[in-house]
Amino acid sequence: MSTITFSPGSRTWLLSTPRSSYALRLDAGDAPCHLHWGAPLTMAQIEQLATRHVDVHPNSFGGRQVPEELAVDGGARYGVSGLQVRFADGTRALEWAYVDHEIAESADGVTLALRMSDRHYPLTVTLHYRVHHDSDVIERSVELSHAGAPGDGSGDGIDDGIDDGAIEVLRLDSAGWALPDREEYRVGHTIGDWAAETQLRREPVAFGETTFTSRRGITSHQANPWVAIDAGDADESHGQVWSAALAWSGSWRITVQRTPGNRVTLTGGFGHDGIGWRLNPGETLQTPAFAGLYTDGGFGAASRTWHDYVLSHVLPHPQEVRPVLYNSWEATGFDVDETGQRKLAAQAAAIGVELFVMDDGWFGARSSDHAGLGDWTPNSERFPQGLGPLVDEVHRLGMAFGLWVEPEMVNPDSDLYRAHPDWVLHFDNRQRTELRHQLVLNFARPDVAAWAHGWLDRLVAEYDIDFLKWDMNRTFSEAGWPERAADGQADRLWIDYVRNLYGIIDRLRADHPNLRIEGCSGGGGRVDLGMLSRVDQVWPSDNTDAFDRLTIQHGFTRLYPARVMSAWVTDSPNPHTGRAIPLRFRCHAAMAGVMAVGGSLTEWAEEDLQELKQHLARYKEIRDTVQLGALYALSGPRPTGVTAVQYTSTDESETVVLAWQPTGVLGREPGPARLMALDPQARYRDRESGREYEGALLTEYGLPLDLPSGDYASTLIVLDRIASEVQAAAAA
């Protein structure tokens, strides 16, 4: 059980989760200061710790030393500000004043709302904390309110471009986090690009400020909004790790700061530098959650805790096992018609596919990426009777029907753009940059959001659509909103765009409870906790090469569970890389997540189709464990040597091991894979060979992999737990 307690005497709050503690207090000036984030401590211990946290200025150049829950601009603070405002009279500094707090309990957990205000100006800042009874993840967010009455003329009367009484919010982060003193901190994060997402990196925390960010309007392929910091000595199963992840699907910023005195803090939230928000009297601005986690069990424990959190508190249908889908994109490209899709559907059903998804090319004048986006009606030449006959045939074959859509985009060569050229992001007197021959619709506009929901709602209802692949294939440019420039609110689009996107998806799902959605943005360009609270799975990368996918999937699962990671088996040679990889290896790579198929099935040899059918059938036997069980990264991706992952079912009765060796080493057999978290007293039987192993030996010396010789060797081993003689006797 998690708890939140308050000590009035020391003005200290202690958040206790099952395996960690977090504490904060108010200093003499009412600033909310950080005290502890780490191993469990009692309130008495926390109050002893508070006596050491005195803000002593060592000299007139050092500035404030005690870390705060939300670093503000004002006073002798010279670090990264998580809250920057400019009041109507031009004043920028903020001075804290405590108002009150509220602790509320529910069946799920406990919340703390700590309400503060500025000492002079009508600004209220509420720091929100939430802990769940079954998790060590702490959710934090901030609510900013203009406490003046609408129409309050509290400005100075100077024509400075700011309305009297309005407060300009220059920066508002969701939370600041502070770490205890350690010698050598490292920061883990992911970098990437299109078709090369979630490449895991770990490096020493640099002195000064290190900023991870997206200024692209989406989460981005180049970085993902999370970091994991350790004391320099953590590995997969040991060591202290502090990590934090932002639940936001637009632009964002996380900054890690290391002072010359070796203090490490981080602050993060939505938006990027250079944009602002005009807060009028009576208005409120709420940030997304910036969740944090502490563990002393190494990177593996951190990952599994995040997975459990996503499965328990983020996903809309967390315990629903995802079906095997087939997607037509790599088979057909834009060459889509009813006859061809029927053939693919029949072939997909024959090999055991459960969900058939028709990708791009079914609507408007969409024969290439040059035209048609925005005109969301079936192409009458390709689908003379609409989509109904194809949907009916897919359902008759025993599969659900899914459809690719890209609601946020428009081609200039489209009826929609010709009718509404003002609906896209743009500035007056500036060109409109096309990427992939398309422009971004301004979802911050209420009329655009209403239009998008309207046609999606009609499409899903008319054709009984079971599944949408929601794509978004370019980033923002010329992110202007001329109609709001006059009132100084054009920058709202960076936040309102995402809010309206969320609102459309939320409303669509509420109106169609059986609809399931896959999130995609040219692959993994929009994967984050905010999007995962609205979709059932995501597409991690357009790169379907099985060798490259091992690295992408390893970085992806550092935070996100296999349950949301769609992974396709596609053609060989791969259409993106040209790499030829055996079908067995491709299938085993896809089995590490939500296995799917995306190849040109009508061109496959019969023996390959039969082999694929067998792999799909075997995956269905283990997918409960892969999608919902605990994931252990036994060894990370490497060009030579073995990459291996382990999944253990929720009841610990089944253990699945997947291993890959992309490049064989002449004269050297791969060693056994040391498994993790098995019962040392139990025995485990290989479901295929019948061999039995002692749990203690599997964790100490490892599981023999018996990989085939040569390049691109892989294996799948399923172990069933059987009781030892001692356990059997005790049970009897």
User: Each residue of 262-295: b (16+ CB within 10 Å) or e?
Assistant: ebbbbbbbbbbeebbbbbbbeeebebbbbbbbbb
Neighbouring residues of 566: CB distance < 8 A, sequence distance ≥ 6: 322, 325, 518, 537, 538, 539, 540, 593, 594, 596
**What CA–CA distance (Å, rounded) separates 640 from 127?**
49
DSSP string for residues in 107-149: SSEEEEEEEEEESSSSEEEEEEEEEETT---EEEEEEEEE-SP
User: How far, in whole angstroms, is CA 705 from its chain's centroid?
Assistant: 33
For residue 267 the two structure tokens come to 């602050």
**What CA–CA distance (Å, rounded) separates 220 from 267?**
19
Q: Is 360 a catalytic residue?
A: no
User: How far, in whole angstroms, is CA 318 from its chain's centroid?
Assistant: 15
Whether 523 and 267 have beta carbons less than 8 Å apart is answered as: no
DSSP string for residues in 155-172: S-S--SSS-TT-EEEEEE
Of the listed 230, 542, 548, 571, which one is catalytic?
542
Tell me how many helices (H) and strands (E) the chain has.
Answer: 15, 37
Do the bridges between strand 290-295 and strand 277-279 make them parallel or antiparallel, or are there none, so unpaired? unpaired
Q: 29 in helix, strand or coil?
A: coil
**What CA–CA distance (Å, rounded) separates 249 from 90?**
32
For residue 337 the two structure tokens come to 């018609």
Neighbouring residues of 469: CB distance < 8 A, sequence distance ≥ 6: 327, 357, 359, 402, 403, 404, 405, 517, 518, 520, 539
3-state helix/strand/coil string of 316-355? CCCCCCCCCEEECHHHHCCCCCHHHHHHHHHHHHHCCCCE
Half-sphere exposure of 663 (CA within 13 A, CB side): 6
DSSP class of 641: S
Whether 250 and 220 have beta carbons less than 8 Å apart is answered as: no
Do the bridges between strand 138-146 and strand 123-132 make them parallel or antiparallel, or are there none, so unpaired? antiparallel
Name the E strands within 636-724.
643-648, 654-661, 683-686, 692-694, 713-722
Neighbouring residues of 697: CB distance < 8 A, sequence distance ≥ 6: none
Of the listed 360, 471, 528, 548, which one is catalytic?
471
**Sign of the dihedral defined by the CA atoms of residues 477, 481, 485, 490, in that order:** negative
**Residue at 544: amino acid letter:** T
Whether 488 and 277 have beta carbons less than 8 Å apart is answered as: no
Half-sphere exposure of 20 (CA within 13 A, CB side): 23
Q: 257 in helix, strand or coil?
A: strand
Quickly tell me which residue has 């406490």 as its tokens.
Answer: 147
Do the bridges between strand 241-246 and strand 290-295 make them parallel or antiparallel, or are there none, so unpaired? antiparallel
Angle between the 606-628 and 338-350 helix axes, to the nearest 10 degrees?
A: 70
* Helix (H) or strand (E) run with residue 449 in it: helix 446-463
| Region of residue 254 (phi > 0: left; psi between -120 and 50: alpha; otherwise: beta) | beta
Quickly tell me which residue has 């030393």 as its tokens.
Answer: 65
For residue 313 the two structure tokens come to 């508190």
Neighbouring residues of 531: CB distance < 8 A, sequence distance ≥ 6: 219, 249, 519, 538
Q: Is 542 a catalytic residue?
A: yes
- Catalytic machinery residues: 471, 542
